[in-house]
Amino acid sequence: MDRTERILDLVALLLDAREPISWAELREHFPADYGGSDDAAERKFERDKAELVELGFPLTYVQGDDERRDGYIVDRDAYYLPEADLTKEELAVLYAAGSAALASGVFPGRDDLAHALRKIGFFAGQSLPTPRVRMELGAVQEGQVKEVSARLEQLWDACAARKWVEISYASPKHPNATQRRVDPYGLALRRGVWTLVGHCHLRGGLRTFHVHRVRELKVNTARPRTPDFHVPEDFSLDSHVAYFPWQHRFHEPVEVVLRLSGTLASRASGLFPGATLEPMGEGLTLAKLRVSFLDGLARFCLSLGADCVVEGPESARSRLREMAARVANRHADALEGKVTA
C-alpha cells in the first residue's frame, strides 16, 4: 500500500476508534504493511507514527488496566480545528500579510504559511478578503528568487529542528567564499533583506549572514529528531540585526545630532525611526540618534541632500564633509572648481 494511503487509513481508523487500538490489532488490520519480521514492522510503524505527530495528530499510547486495554488512542477534540472567531479586520490583516508574504516568493516556512492560510480561511468561506498588498522581498536580483526561497525553507526547517547547517558564504568583503558550520538561531527581515543569525563555529561567536549570499547549504541530517544546540534564553534577533545602515555594530555608539529642514523636517520620524525629535519651529527639526556606524549615517545623510545637516559631533560632521567633497571633486569638471573638506 502507498505510504500516503496507509497513513490516511490510520487517521480514519484512529479518529473513529472509541477504544485504544493495540499494536497487535494494527498489524492485523494492515497485514501487508506491518507484516514481515517484528523489528521491520515496528520500525515502519514508528516512522508512520512520527509522521502523524508531525501532522499535529494527537496520538497517545495508553497503558491498559482492568477496564481498558493497552493501545493507541486519539484525542479528537485536540485534532479538529476549532473556529477562531476572527473579526473581519483580524482576518483581513492575517490574510493580507500572509498572502503577500507567500506571493513575495521569499518567506521562510512557505509551505507552513500556505497551509495556515488555508486553515484560517476554512470557516470564512466566501467572505475572504482579496489581498491588495504585495511585497517584493529578499532577493537581490530577479533570477535569485528561487534560490533564496529554497535556502529560507531549509533554514526554517533547521531553525525549527535546531540542526546545524554547513554553508558556503560569499561576502562581498572577501574574494573567496568561506565554508562555515552555523547553529541557526533565527531569521530576520530588514529592508527587504533576509538575515540569518546564529553561532558561527568558524568565528566562535554570534554572526549574521545575508541569506542571498549563501551559495551552498546543507542541513545536518544525522539524528533528525535530536536538537544539535540550544538557543540561549536571552537571545533576541532584534539586538543582532540592524534596521538602518548607521545601526551596524562596528563602533562604540555615539549620539549624533541632525538638523532637518524643508520637506525633511516633517518626515523626520519616518526617516530616522527611534530618534529623539525636537521640532524647532519654522520647518526645522533636530533629530538625535545613536550611531554605531558613522559612515552608514554619513552616506544616508548625503543622499538626503542639503536639507539634512550634521550638527555634531565633529567626527560625524567632518566625515560627511569629506564624503561630499570627494563626490564633488570626482564630478568637478562638470561645474569646474575643486572643493576642500
Judged by CB under 8 A, the chain residues 277 through 316 that form the site for another protein are: 295, 298-306
Q: Which residue's CB is nearer to another protein, number 173 or number 225?
A: 173
Return the number of the residue (57 or 209) whose C-beta is nearest another protein. Answer: 57
Q: Are the beta carbons of 246 and 273 closer than 8 angstroms? A: no
Q: Which is nearer to another protein, 9 or 228 (CB)?
A: 9
For residue 18, state whether it binds another protein (rule: CB under 8 A): no
Closest CA to 166 of 212, 202, 204, 207: 202
Instruction: Tell me the sheet residues that pair with 257.
Output: 288, 312
Among 38, 136, 278, 311, binds another protein (CB under 8 A): 136
Choosing from 73, 86, 219, 254, the residue that interacts with another protein (CB under 8 A) is 86
| Distance in Å, CB of 214 to another protein, minimum | 13
CA distance 215 to 148: 9
Residues 193-232 that bind another protein (CB under 8 A): 193, 212-213
Q: At closest approach, how far in Å is the CB of 22 from another protein?
A: 13
Measured between alpha carbons, how far is residue 113 from residues 94, 101, 110, 120, 187 in Å?
Answer: 11, 9, 5, 11, 15
Q: What minimum distance in Å lies between the beta carbon of 183 and another protein? A: 12
Binding to another protein by residue 163, rule CB under 8 A?
no
Q: What is the closest distance, in whole angstroms, from the C-beta atom of residue 134 to another protein in the complex?
A: 5
> Nearest approach, Cβ of 38 to another protein (angstroms)?
20
- For position 151 contacting another protein by CB under 8 A, the verdict is no
Pairing assessment for the beta strands 71-74 and 165-169 based on DSSP bridges: unpaired
> What character string, x for contact with another protein (CB under 8 A) and - otherwise, covers 241-280?
x-x-------------------x--xx--xx---------
User: And the C-alpha cell for 217?
Assistant: 547549504
Q: Say which residues have a Cβ less than 8 Å from residue 211's Cβ, sequence separation at least 6.
A: 138, 148, 151, 152, 155, 187, 193, 194, 195, 196
- Which residue, 69 or 190, has its beta carbon nearer to another protein? 190
Q: Which of 59, 148, 167, 189 binds another protein (CB under 8 A)?
A: 189
Distance CA 325, CA 296 (A): 17
* Angle at the Cα of 185 from the Cα atoms of 183 and 190, rounded to 5 degrees: 125
CB closer to another protein, 15 vs 62: 15
Q: Which residues of 19-54 are buried (b: 16+ CB within 10 A; e: fewer)?
A: ebbebebbbeebeebbeeeeeebeebbeebbeebee
Residue at grid coordinates 562555515: 180
Stretch that binds another protein, among 34-42, 61-69, 87-95, 247-255 (CB under 8 A): 87-95
What H or E segment, with its residue span, contains residue 8?
Answer: helix 3-16
Side-chain half-sphere exposure of 303, counting CA atoms within 13 A: 7
Question: DSSP state, 187?
Answer: E
Pick 45 or 157: Cβ nearer another protein = 157
Q: Minimum distance from CB of 206 to another protein (Å)?
A: 14
**Which residues within the stretch 168-187 sit at the binding site for another protein (CB under 8 A)?**
172-173, 185-187
Output the smallest distance, CB 329 to another protein, in A.
8
Site for another protein in 89-128 (CB under 8 A): 89-94, 96-98, 100-102, 107-120, 122, 125
